[in-house]
A and B are shown apart, each in its own frame.
Chain A
Amino acid sequence: MDFKSFRKKSPWILHYNTGSCNGCDIEILACLSPKYDVERFGILNRGNPKQSDILLVTGPVTKRAKERLLRLYFEMPEPKVVVAVGACACSGGVFRHMYNVENGVDKVIPVDVYVPGCAARPEAIIDGLIKALEILKSKGKDLELPSWCKADVKPPVNRAKLLNSCLEEFHGCRRD
């Protein structure tokens, strides 16, 4: 039986703020409110990476947040998609080139959909989510890695070890 078609019908989201100004987060929550009501599409805000399909990231990824982001990303089971919400998450936005940020989510983890706007409008976010659902449907169940992470993995994966080897590559010897 092909379950792929059900992926579109019940995406559960995890929402993570990597140091945004909270503008985009409020817009995301507005999507859940009666006016926009994304639960129509079966979308639930689970708040738990282990049971989520879509990672909604806001903010420019501060240096402090990047390891957390990576941890959360590895905790999510495949298939999964990442949606960068807001200008900050797409490219760093108003925080770009500051000493403490990574200039966007795609510097850390692979991003599937970019939702622009400062702050991103709820309509845009919903649009982005729908786009993400298309991508989710086409994805396989193989492990996804950030492009910079060269760790060789063979299933079954021990994600704690994977995270550590990735982080070592990422930081060199520097760890925070």
Chain B
Amino acid sequence: MEKIVYSLFLVPWVLALAVFLLPGARFHRLRQLITFLSLPALSFLTYLVWNGHLPLQIETPRWLNLAFTVYDYGLLLYFLYQGIKFRDFLVTVLALFQLFLLTWILLIMPESSVPDFYVDRLSAFMFLIVSTVGTLICIYATKYMEQENLERENRFVAILLWFLGVMNLAVSVNNIEWFFALFETTTLASYILIRFRWDEVSIKNALRALWMNQIGGIAILLGLLFGIKYYSFTHFTQFLSLSGKPAIVMIPLGFLAVSALVKGAQMPFHRWLLGAMVAPTPVSAILHSATMVKIAPYLILRLSPVIKGTLLAKLLIITTGFVFVGAGLLALTQENFKKILAYSTISLLGLMMLTASMGSSMAILASLTLILFHAVVKALLFMEAGVMEKLFKAKYIEDIRRLVERAPITVAFTSIGFMSMTIVPYGIFVSKWMAIEEASNFLSHGAYVGSIIFMATGGVILALLYFKVIGVMTRKRGEFLKFQLEKVPFAYLFSTVPLVLFVIVGSIFIAKLLCLSVNPVVEAVIGTPAPIIAKGLTLITPVSELYGWQIIGAFVLLLIVPILAYFVHFTGTDRVYEYTCGEKLELNIGTYNFFCIQVVEPFVETAAVALFILTLVLGGGLV
């Protein structure tokens, strides 16, 4: 069993090495094959872990501890070097500060015999996402880079694969110092990936991602430091033993939560994630869906049994809820397709952390469902963004106007992706619904009322955003003369179709999915499973039911019918031109950009900063 877990980290690294060592155009096919191998290999390993005896605690030899310490220093020194090389003040100073804190921690670090690896179902759940969605993105990346820069393809794909291994490792360590090392390794990975194109903007954005994430790293170190000071705790499992105890010192937890907020790109630290869009699109896909940002909800989920019901949890609810709405609002003003997606990721990450910090079993269930479906959908959407970029040269909303006339498949997939984030029967909706109904049980707490308001308004703002984009895509000049599918390369189809299928099938069988796959994870996180029952397709929650016929009905309306719409022709009827008050005009229809919202951007950010500080100070108990 241990070997399986180890191979989950090592297999991607070996594959990455293999890809890296096969440079040049000649080995392109071979590299694709190797990358493809990662999908079955990792999925199989995850399957074994999932069916194995969990939770699993693995003792490690002492030298590994030493190795991690050395690695930590090496990493931080590399950051320092980068800071000096690019003359970036913040990176340098933060790296120095991290070095200082790390040394301090190592000096006072107590001996502990707690196992350093802790693989429970939550970890396995993350493995699942990484090893399916993540590897699909890698396969996609091979084709993408072939069209962009074949010479550096091996490097790129190798980094992506390596990143997957790092992510797998990050979600299975127990030792917080190691977690810090891996946290910073993901930072390093994102730094390298964002910098990948080596132009001025890329380097600037990469450095920004670096220093922002370094702040997260500092928060972890501070959390660890105070954990050692107050409790001599160095492992997550030790913190979990605190749950249920009255009057605990919140400072370490507060810092850990803040590091999650930073990693989850919550405002005001959202700019690093936006900056990631300058890199090739698979980078965004992998950062936004399977890896990197998912550490944030993962961390909150790890801590949620402890912080449940505390002031910290309530402040987290308000902060993340605010980001859910605020990021959605700011997304409305964007014109760049990838930026829109990035803002909506930030927004939905807010929702994930909101539900995670509510901490009851239903809320955790909602959070996990969100993580799962969001990973799939965001990967899908970013891949489609890449397809649009490569095949149709479309980067801005203006460019994707009337795309439906040229690219029915891309438009259909993108619309399914967008709709699945708001509309009725899809998984993300179901989790939002469960979260609202769960929050209604605690209406006497201001934070929960706030969460309902945030969920209601944020959801509808995202709906506005997505329908704006769908509307631009589906505009048409006239009838489809002949229905013709665009030619999408096979690798693109191979990596997107499974995701679409999962979104649809997973949403139809949502009740079964939640009961069989997600509920065990809930049990692992907080000890009790959520009280839901699946009866056929019907999902029965403690307070309500989502009937199977409603799901099916909505799917018939949403999927079958618009696809039918391609083929429905009212042949017998007259065609007419648009009404323009009788004037003969050259129509050039744009779209709303909501520039009026830009006015509130500073306020949103200021409020986010204020909430952030409030979370740290009041929630973390620094007063």
Contact = CB atoms under 8 A, between A and B. Distances in A.
The answer to A–B direct touch (Cβ < 8 A) is: yes
Interface of A: 16, 48-50, 67-69, 71-72, 74-75, 77, 143, 155-160, 163
Interface in B577-605: 577, 579, 581-584
B579 A155 contact: no
B481 to A, nearest CB: 13
9 contacts: A16-B582, A68-B582, A68-B583, A71-B577, A71-B583, A77-B574, A155-B574, A156-B573, A157-B574
A77 B579 CA distance: 13
A159 B577 contact: yes
Interface string B556-578: 00000000000000011111110
Q: What does DSSP make chain A's interface, helix, strand, loop or mixed?
A: helix
Contacts of A155: 572, 574
Contact of A156 (B575, B577, B579, B583): B575
B571 A49 contact: no
Nearest to B572: A156
Q: What does DSSP make chain B's interface, helix, strand, loop or mixed?
A: loop
B584 A67 contact: yes
A68 to B, nearest CB: 3
Contacts, number: 41
A157 B584 CA distance: 19
Interface string B254-269: 0000000000000000
Interface of B: 571-577, 579, 581-584
A75 B578 CA distance: 9
A160 B575 contact: yes
Contacts of B572: 155-156
Contacts of A72: 582
Contacts of B575: 156-160
A72 B579 CA distance: 8
Contact of B579 (A49, A69, A158, A160): A49
A75 B579 contact: yes
Contacts of A68: 581-583
Given A156-B572, A156-B574, 18 more contacts: A16-B582, A49-B579, A50-B576, A71-B582, A74-B576, A75-B577, A75-B579, A143-B574, A155-B572, A156-B571, A157-B574, A158-B575, A159-B574, A159-B575, A159-B576, A159-B577, A160-B575, A163-B577
Among B571, B574, B575, the most chain A Cβ lie within 10 Å of the Cβ of B574
A14 to B, nearest CB: 10
A149 B582 CA distance: 19
| Nearest 3 pairs of A and B residues by beta carbon | A68-B582, A157-B574, A159-B576
B350 to A, nearest CB: 43
Nearest to A70: B582
A12 to B, nearest CB: 14
Contacts of B583: 68, 71
A60 B330 CA distance: 52
A75 B573 contact: no
Given A49-B579, A50-B579, A75-B579, A158 B584 contact: no
Given A16-B582, A68-B582, A71-B584, A160 B576 contact: yes
Nearest to A74: B576
Contacts of A67: 582, 584
A48 B581 CA distance: 9
Nearest to B583: A68
A48 B574 contact: no
A77 B573 CA distance: 11
Contacts of B576: 50, 74-75, 159-160
B575 to A, nearest CB: 5
Contacts of A16: 582
A114 B582 CA distance: 23
Contacts of B571: 156
B587 to A, nearest CB: 12
Nearest to B575: A158
A50 B575 CA distance: 12
Contacts of B579: 48-50, 75
B256 to A, nearest CB: 60
A71 B577 CA distance: 9
A71 B572 CA distance: 22
A156 to B, nearest CB: 5
B576 to A, nearest CB: 4
Nearest to B571: A156
A68 B585 CA distance: 11
Nearest to A48: B579
B246 to A, nearest CB: 68
B609 to A, nearest CB: 50
A102 B576 CA distance: 26
A141 to B, nearest CB: 11
